[in-house]
Structure formats: structure tokens, C-alpha cells
Amino acid sequence: MSTVLLRKGRTRVDDADTADDMAVASFIMGLVGLLVFNIVLGPCALVLGGLALARGTTRRGRALLGTALGAADLIVLAVLVTANGTVSWNFTG
């Protein structure tokens, strides 16, 4: 992660590094959201993936995959609510 020195000794992180971190976080949240907390992690993955793409990440594929997984999280949530009437997985008969 590179930093830029500003006046009075302050530093800030470059937007490209932040966008790369957002792309990776989007991918991880989307992947984990398929199993647990899809109601929270799905929208977070969508937002982080979109922000990473808007900021020009070098990890474009990971940001796109995180966005797709976030959308899949919401689709899984809709299927679970429709089929079971609940927002959690149910493996019992």
C-alpha cells in the first residue's frame, strides 16, 4: 500500500490501493454471503464491488466477481424466503 505525504506530516492512501482492497473485500463478502448472513453481506459486496470499479481498480475481475456474488446472495435470499419462509438454510426434512 503506498501513501502520499501531505502538508503538516499527514498521509493518505492512494485511491488505487483502496480500490484494490475494496475489490478483494467485495469478493470475500460475496463468497461468504452465499452461506451465512446473505441479507447483510450481499448488499455490501454489491456496493464495494461497484465502488472499486468506479475508482478504477487493477483487480477488475475480482470486483466483477464480487458484484456477481453479491447479486447471487440476494437471489439465494429470495429463493430461501419463497421456499421456506425463512432467511436461513434448513437441511432437515
Which grid cell is 83?
A: 421456499
Residue 80 has what pLDDT?
A: 85
pLDDT exceeds 80 at position 60:
yes
Which DSSP letter does residue 2 get? -
Between CA 30 and CA 45 the distance in angstroms is 5
Helix residue spans in the chain (DSSP H): 15-33, 38-54, 60-84
Mean pLDDT of the chain: 84
pLDDT tens string 62-80:
999 999 999 999 999 998 8
List pLDDT tens digits, range 32-45.
Answer: 999 888 899 999 99
The pTM score is: 0.77
CB 20 within 8 A of CB 57: yes
- Please state, as a whole number, how many other Cβ atoms lie within 10 Å of the Cβ of residue 19: 22
